[in-house]
């Protein structure tokens, strides 16, 4: 059973974003709240989170931001590390299941009510899709939960989130935005993450290689059930396709 979070719907979320987008982080910290008069809960499907749970989640995420130089501007590497730590934290601690994590207005509440200071610190003068209920693949927090969910390996010995740092932000965004065309296969995405470091693709070529890889997997998915393959067979299949793509594009170092 999922935890149910407050949902902040479109008009109110847009009004808050318009108010907050030009504010300093310290001002936004004072705007943080555990509830909003316009937020709603769904009637069924889980257990509503208590304010104590929301406060605990805020404190944990804020602590990770402080490690990355919050409230002051951080480095690119620091922000990337913050994303990875918060991805794991949200997935482990939020209590969300995929159906609830797909509700965009839940993420709008977290960004604009619970954690506005952290959201706009992470993306100063954030465009709307980073904080509103419009696009989870771009959302400051929603995309992190999904990154952890798609790359978590429940059967791993040791850190089951070891794969979440394999792809850079833009590379993972490509995978996330095309996950439905891959049949939503977490197994395939994890296999690709295991293969990726071995390919030796330079950062500047990642988008090109991934775009071609995802096209090929989409076509292959019409005849192959990736979820039915064992780890060894799937890994071999992914490695063969990946090698073909990199060789064809002549991008090996």
Alpha-carbon distance of 141 to 131, in angstroms, equals 8
Higher pLDDT, 193 or 201: 193
pLDDT score for 253: 44
pTM: 0.92
Q: Which helix (H) or strand (E) holds 243?
A: helix 231-249
Residue matched to tokens 């696009």 = 135
Residues 134-187 have pLDDT tens digits of 999 999 999 999 999 999 998 888 899 999 999 888 888 888 888 777 757 889
Contacts from 17-24 at CB under 8 Å and sequence distance 24+?
17/112, 17/126, 17/128, 17/131, 17/132, 20/112, 20/116, 20/120, 21/120, 21/125, 21/126, 22/125, 23/120
Give the pLDDT confidence of 30-47 residue by residue, as tens digits: 999 999 999 999 877 789
pLDDT tens per residue across span 70-127: 999 989 999 999 999 999 999 999 999 999 999 999 999 999 999 999 999 999 999 9
C-alpha 59/C-alpha 117 separation (Å) is 12
Per cent of the chain over pLDDT 70 is 98
User: pLDDT digits over 40-69, tens only?
Assistant: 998 777 899 999 999 999 999 999 999 999
Which residue is it, tokens 């030009």? 22
């Amino acid at each position: 059973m999922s935890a149910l979070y407050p949902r902040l719907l479109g008009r109110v979320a847009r009004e808050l974003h318009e108010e907050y987008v030009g504010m300093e982080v310290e001002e936004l910290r004072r705007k943080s709240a555990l509830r909003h008069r316009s937020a709603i809960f769904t009637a069924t499907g889980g257990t509503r989170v208590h304010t104590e749970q929301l406060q605990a989640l805020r404190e944990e995420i804020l602590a990770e931001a402080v490690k990355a130089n919050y409230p002051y501007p951080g480095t690119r590497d620091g922000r990337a590390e913050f994303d990875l730590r918060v991805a794991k934290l949200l997935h482990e601690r939020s209590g969300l299941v995929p159906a609830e994590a797909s509700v965009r207005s839940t993420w709008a509440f977290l960004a604009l009510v619970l954690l506005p200071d952290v959201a706009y610190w992470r993306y100063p003068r954030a465009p709307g899709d980073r904080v509103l209920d419009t696009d989870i693949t771009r959302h400051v927090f929603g995309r992190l939960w999904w990154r952890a969910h798609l790359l978590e390996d429940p059967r791993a010995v040791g850190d089951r989130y070891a794969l979440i740092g394999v792809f850079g932000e833009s590379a993972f965004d490509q995978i996330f935005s095309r996950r439905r065309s891959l049949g939503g296969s977490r197994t395939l995405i994890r296999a690709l993450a295991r293969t990726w470091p071995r390919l030796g693709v330079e950062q500047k070529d990642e988008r090109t290689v991934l775009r071609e890889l995802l096209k090929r997997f989409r076509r292959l998915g019409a005849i192959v059930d990736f979820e039915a393959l064992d780890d060894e067979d799937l890994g071999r299949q992914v490695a063969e396709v990946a090698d073909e793509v990199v060789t064809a594009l002549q991008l090996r170092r």
